[in-house]
Amino acid sequence: MEWRDEGIILGLRKHGETSVIAEVMTRAHGRHMGIVRGGRSKRLQPVLQPGNSVDLVWRARLDEHLGQYQVELLNGRAGHLMQSAIGLHGVQAMAALLRLLPERDSHPRLHDAFAIILDSLDQPAQAGALYVRFELAVLEDLGFGLDLSTCAATGIRSDLVYVSPKTGRAVSAGAGAPWADRLLDLPEFLTDRDVACADALALGQAFRLSGFFLGRHVFEARGIEAPVSRESFCTAALRAMPQVTPVAVRDEEPIA
């Protein structure tokens, strides 16, 4: 068995004295493991860093085997990512999300989004908003996508300012007003791509929204905790945004 693909390094673990098992988010073959012979050498260590894009050739006798990788560097962005808290925690947080996907399931959209966001983590005004969209995309690929296109109560497509914590559907300002304290805030930049995430208040609302549904449908359902890297990234991203009012990232369930 043999295939060639491009991928982004998620993590490594030692294998024997000189080799590593590389975990890579590939474009066509999903999250995939493989042994890299000599992966702990001075030549390959800089290549096999989380966040780097690589060209891969995978070989194994049978498809279900772990197999071996040959790797060549395509984009060595890891060193740049490690220079900031947003970059360091961002790559870790997104890698943790991708590990929620079944191994070897193809998710080319997530691979491409991962690469785009990694290349944008040096732009604080965009990094947080892109990361939230990535979390929503992971939820969708796991089967828990939100419907933010129309109001769940009236069907209208305008003035959507809330999300129902029960259904994951958007709710308009008028329809949701009587139950506003029971609904999650929906920042405008998540429904209109022409609107930028302007401040920490809007970004904090978005983090709370995606974090709530990740907690309910993914972390709690699997009996695991949200990754520490997510909280660290959210904190760094919020600090980099213009402050309107103090913002706390809360993933607890709203009052029912």
pLDDT at 254: 47
Global pTM? 0.92
pLDDT at 248: 55
In this structure, are 88 and 69 located in the same domain? no
CATH assignment at residue 131 = 1.20.1440.120
Counting as low any pLDDT under 50, the low residues of the chain are 254-256
- Cβ neighbours for 247, distance < 8 A, ≥ 6 positions apart: 200, 201, 203, 204, 238
pLDDT at 77: 97
pLDDT at 255: 39
Last residue of a domain, one of 76, 93, 123: 76
In this structure, are 58 and 101 located in the same domain? no
Residue 214 structure tokens: 């990740």
Distance CA 217, CA 34 (A): 30
User: Please, are residues 238 and 203 in contact by the beta-carbon 8 Å criterion?
Assistant: yes
What range defines the domain where residue 88 resides?
Answer: 81-239
In this structure, are 201 and 228 located in the same domain? yes
In this structure, are 85 and 72 located in the same domain? no
pLDDT at 241: 95
pLDDT tens digit sequence for 87-110? 999 999 999 999 999 999 999 999
The total number of structural domains in the chain stands at 2
Distance CA 59, CA 66 (A): 9
CATH assignment at residue 44 = 2.40.50.140
In this structure, are 48 and 139 located in the same domain? no
In this structure, are 160 and 108 located in the same domain? yes
In a domain, 104, yes or no: yes
pLDDT at 183: 98
In this structure, are 147 and 67 located in the same domain? no
